[in-house]
Amino acid sequence: QVQLVDSGGGLVQTGGSLRLSCEGSGRTFGGYAMGWFRQAPGKERQFVAAISWSGGNILYADSVKDRFTISRDNAKNTVYLQMNSLKPEDTAVYYCAADLVLYDLRLGRTIDYWGRGTQVTVSS
């Protein structure tokens, strides 16, 4: 079983940067594709980015492509989301997720494991 702890959110000004982290609990972490989702008040959960267990396949939502970078360090059981050039519309709770199938993350369905979320707020 996998337990995920996501962290790194905060309050930043438009144009600022944050790096989110998600740490997994066990040695099997490297076998999972990992992803990030976000959810703003009154809106449905949105896919943000995902990365395969090997790091060879990476997917981004169009809204964050060229601004956000997902990466992972399997030796540390950790996946990261580097967020640059942040905009107010990026404000949301960001959730880390793990799944054995990369495209389950892209589709946002039947996700195996979720973090509890970390708040990102971008001021105007």
Sites in the chain below the pLDDT cut of 70: 27-28
What does the pLDDT read at residue 28?
67
pLDDT for residue 31:
86
Q: What is the pLDDT of residue 80?
A: 98
pLDDT, one tens digit per residue, over 57-78 is 999 999 999 999 999 998 899 9
3-state secondary structure 78-121: EEEEEECCCCHHHCEEEEEEEECCHHHHHHCCCCCEECCCEEEE
pLDDT of residue 109: 84
